[in-house]
Amino acid sequence: MAETRGFGKLPCPKCGAETSVCLDLDDMESDEAFTCCECEENFGMADVKAFLQKWAPVFEWIDKALVVTE
């Protein structure tokens, strides 16, 4: 299998599909800078950051969880 450059398939914060996401390089700060190739919805960096922020407390909790040894 040939190696490719890129990030691979990413989850869309709108539909959840792991798909290709297009980025408008002319205006990366736009609320519509990203386009999901599955649902064709546009979203911006704020949408991606909000998606990740929702998971932040879960990751913090996991990091603090006790390690069980048998």
Given pLDDT bands bounded at 50, 70 and 90, which one contains residue 1? low
pLDDT digits (tens, 9 = 90+) for 3-59: 888 888 999 999 999 999 999 999 999 999 999 999 999 999 999 999 999 999 999
* Interatomic CA distance for residues 47 and 40, integer angstroms: 15
pLDDT over 80 (residue 63): yes
Residue 20 CB contacts under 8 Å (≥ 6 apart), including other chains: 9, 10, 37
Map out the domains of the chain as residue ranges: 10-64
